Structure 1
Amino acid sequence: MPIYMDRHELPHDITPEKLSELHQKDLDIEHKHNCKGFTYWLDLDQKYAFCLIQAPDREAVFNLHKESHGDLPTTIIEVEPNIVETFLGRMSDPETDSPGKLPKINDPAYRILMMLNLKHLNNLNSFKNDSGFKSHFKLKIEKLVKENEGVITSANATEILACFKNAKKAIKTAEIISLEKQANNFHDNAFTIGIVSGYPVTPDTNSFFEEAISHLKRVCTFVKAPIIINSELRATYHQEEGPKRKALKNAYILTPDDEKFIKKVCKFIDANWQDPKLNMDRFSQDMGLSKSQLYRNIMRLTEKPPNAFIRNYRLSQALERIKTQNGNISEIAFEAGFNSVGYFSKQFKNAFGVLPSNYSKSLK
């Protein structure tokens, strides 16, 4: 049977004791709905709870809560057990000193996620045809994450995702990695480190930590800075560190307005990047900004004008399609919104130091 995690938004007077009682009510009747409750997490400050339940479907989870106590979940998603354990550290209730008695859990599911996003270098061949992070450097990253009580949750050639409970340790890890990058003679833009906070289940999401991971991908792709932190994470860091906290000198702090702008731009680009007629007038109109305002905002965050930003986005999408051999070069060029294969090839070489046809051949 599948396993689900749900999200509850709790009343202001909730306590670990009260939530333990609600959990017991679920367990008392779970057999009637063919369910099995594993455990839950409580974020007491924000009044969120996340239950982990094996059930035949989402409806069974909803009906279980409805009959047992009436505190209904706002969102229910299917999850993979190994992913839950990797991010949250457990799949069952914490151990107690009283066998047979349910623990009064006050364990938040709030996590700090850090992503290392590899930028495409000016010469793909310099990275052995874009093979990704060098193995010895990747081992250093893994060691640093572990030393700071984090865990690598996923890794591929161009992205490493890590999870922490503590904002201070996540930021410390990022700062050390950034220094290691300089010591390893990486190009300044070889990779970006993004750090945000988030919850495993949020409204209108369908997968585990979807909102936080999607946001990380956006900021790492969009913003030109070695380390990027959002204002919510900075507030968490300040709370952990107290008045004697160390200043975050090497981090670019995104404001809430920055984050809204990035999300809106990415939504627009994702929907329109393949349209060869896409221009600044349409771009600025959709964003609700004048062309000069749009130009200033994108330049401030990306250090590129809007037209270059769009072109680079198209080229990065084309690069991914070449890597997966998804179509011939002509097809990929037109699919990426270029009117001319020749112009596409020229821009691709300017960006990556190799013609797309030659790059495609090198992958075979």
Structure 2
Amino acid sequence: MDLHKASEGDEGILSIEEIKRCHMADVKIQAKYGVRFIQYWINSEAGMFFCLMEGPDKESCMAVHEEAHGNMACNIIELQGGDYNAYMGNESNKNEFDLVENPDGTLDTGFRVILMVDVIAPANDQNLYDQIKSTFKKFEGREANHGGDRIMCVFNFSSQAIECAKAILAESEILNKEGVEVRIGISAGGPVSDGSEFFGNSIKLANKLCDIAQSNQIIASTEVKELTKGTLITPDNENSVLRIITPVDEKFVNALVEAVESMESNSTFSVESLSKSIGMSKAQLYRKTTSLTGHSPNYFIQEQRLKKALKLIKKKTGNIAEIAFEVGFSSPSYFTKSFQNRFGILPTQAQR
């Protein structure tokens, strides 16, 4: 799949009619390069369109574009296994020009909404995960594998994702389980961006929003709010449960989480180190971190370490002392004390 977008300074992307002509020109010569162009999506508001094709390699696909019309892709990625169906859906309605449409006849923009659920529980509870996955289906969500230990679901529409997230937090069976915390991050974006992964930027952001969310809280990106077009998220219904972060805050969250993740195994990593890493004074870092996470930078660093430790312990990836050192604790005894204070059980109890 590839991405085409308007260049900086352009008034906008090519018109729909021009994109149709480019696609038909591709189809006319595709056999010459052993390529088959299947369908495409147009997102006029974002100034992007995406093409799905089959071919022997990226170079062959690019060569078709170059010869057919000269409108070259900004990026092209290879899809793996079941990625396509999980993210884009099993069925698509395309018109005579192979342009994908929604069931109501409007254009499918190709953008998808990514809902990431982080469950923090002292013990593994398959029933809890099954309950969350059942709620996904009620709102037409598709569970997708993303290589992590959180549960991820993909939606075509932001309204579905927001209502699903609210329903998950409202489930009495989830809320009433002792020691269980649920955090939800929601982001949105196109299938191809500047990386090599399918929906890579959106998945990373949803994960990071989970990292900064408090217990039983939903944090959504600005893009998600914009996709609702003001129908579901307004200043009146944003509250402690549902929060939207600004593009400026998104940049800070990216820097904060990446800095902590890169250094969390280093026992000498401190607020001073974090401050230098993201280029911000300690006072600024404190204000910004507290505003977004509800906690101090020190607490956030320790929280990330302990959450990672809990997951490693439940996966039985090593003994308690090894895991303590892996997540940045220099003293196993201090780690045990901190773990018990945070989760209410000893690390050895979480192993069972």
TM-score in same-fold range (> 0.5): yes
Which one of the candidate residues 188, 213, 222 is aligned to 1:223?
A: 213
- 1:346 aligns to 2:337 (yes or no): yes
- The 3-state SS of whatever aligns with 2:124 is coil
The answer (yes or no) to whether the contact 2:217–2:242 under 8 Å persists in 1 is yes
Taking the TM superposition and a 5 Å limit, the aligned residue runs for 1:122-137 are 124=122, 129-131=123-125, 134=128, 137=131
Q: 5 Å matches for 1:138-153?
A: 138=132, 140-146=134-140, 150-153=141-144
Q: Go from structure 1 to structure 2 and tell me whether the alpha carbon gap of 1:182 and 1:134 turns closer, same or farther (over 3 Å shift).
A: closer
Q: What CA deviation, in whole Å up to 9, does each residue of 1:178-207 have, x standing for no partner?
A: 32248852569711222222111111x111
Larger deviation, residues 168-177 vs 306-315: 168-177
The amino acid of 1:88's aligned partner reads M
Mapped pair 1:200 → 2:191? yes
DSSP-derived class of the 2:108 partner = coil
| 2:245 counterpart of 1:254 | yes
Distance 2:151 2:80 in 1: 19
Separation in 2, partners of 1:350, 1:234: 36
**Letter matched to residue 331 of structure 1:** E
SS at match of 2:144: strand
Q: Give the drift of 1:213.
A: 0.8
In structure 1, distance between residues paired with 2:51 and 2:146: 27
| Alignment-mate amino acid for residue 112 of structure 1 | V
- 1:161 corresponding residue in structure 2: 152
Number of the residue aligned with 2:36: 36
Q: Using a 3 Å threshold, how does the CA distance of structure 1 residues 136 and 332 change in structure 2: closer, same or farther?
A: closer
The aligned amino acid for 1:109 is G
Percent of matched pairs sharing the same residue: 29
Aligned to 2:61: 61
Once the two structures are TM-superposed, the CA of residue 132 in structure 1 deviates from its matched residue by 5.2
Q: Give matches, 1:267-278, under 5 Å.
A: 267-278=258-269
Q: Which residue of 2 aligns with 1:9?
A: 5
1:336 pairs with 327, 337, 346, which one? 327
CA distance 1:246–1:303, change in 2 (3 Å): closer
Q: Cα distance 1:330–1:321, how it changes in 2: closer, same or farther (>3 A)?
A: same
CA distance in structure 1 between the partners assigned to 2:22 and 2:90 by the alignment: 20
2:78 is aligned to: 78
Q: What secondary structure is seen at the aligned counterpart in 2 of 1:41?
A: strand
| Residues 229-280 of structure 1, C-alpha deviations (whole Å, 9 max, x = no match) | 22232233235579x9974444112122221111111111111111111122
Distance in 1 of aligned mates of 2:180 and 2:38? 44
Q: Which deviates more, 208-217 or 187-196? A: 187-196
Aligned mates of 1:304, 1:245 — CA distance in 2: 23
For residue 350 of structure 2, what is the aligned residue in structure 1?
359
C-alpha distance in 1 between matches for 2:24 and 2:168: 45
Deviation at 1:139, TM superposition (A): 5.4
Contact 2:184/2:209 (CA < 8 Å) preserved in 1?
A: no
Match of 2:223 among 195, 216, 232: 232
2:82 partner letter: N
Q: Which residue of 2 aligns with 1:115?
A: 116
Structure 1 position 315 matched with structure 2 position 306: yes
Counterpart CA distance in 1 for 2:150 and 2:164 is 16
Q: 1:269 and 1:297 mapped to 2: Cα distance?
A: 15
The CA RMSD over aligned residues, in Å, is: 2.9
* SS of match in other structure, 1:79: coil
Contact 2:40 2:98 in 1 (8 A): no
Q: Secondary structure at the residue paired with 2:110?
A: coil
Bigger shift: 176-185 or 343-352? 176-185
How much has 1:90 moved relative to structure 2?
A: 5.3
How far apart, in 2, do the equivalents of 1:117 and 1:330 lie?
25
Moved over 4 A (4+): 154-158, 181-184, 186-189, 239-242
Amino acid at match of 2:87: F
Contact residue 167 and residue 240 of structure 1 kept, 8 A: no
The residue correspondences of 1:296-307 to structure 2 (distance < 5 A) are 296-307=287-298
Cα distance, 1:86 vs structure 2? 2.7
Change (3 A) 1:335 1:169: closer
Q: What whole-Å deviation, never above 9, does each CA across 1:303-345 have from its counterpart, x for those lacking one?
A: 2222222122122223333333333332222222221122122
- Supply the distance in 2 between the matched residues of 1:222 and 1:63 (Cα, whole angstroms): 44
| Structure 2 gap ranges (5+) | 101-106
TM-score with structure 1 length normalisation?
0.82
C-alpha deviation, 1:216, in angstroms? 0.5
**Cα contact 1:8–1:73 (8 A) shared by 2:** yes
- 1:135 Cα deviation after fit: 5.4
* Residues 14 and 228 of structure 1: CA distance in aligned 2, closer, same or farther (over 3 Å): same
Larger RCO of the pair (alpha carbons < 8 Å, separation 6+): 1
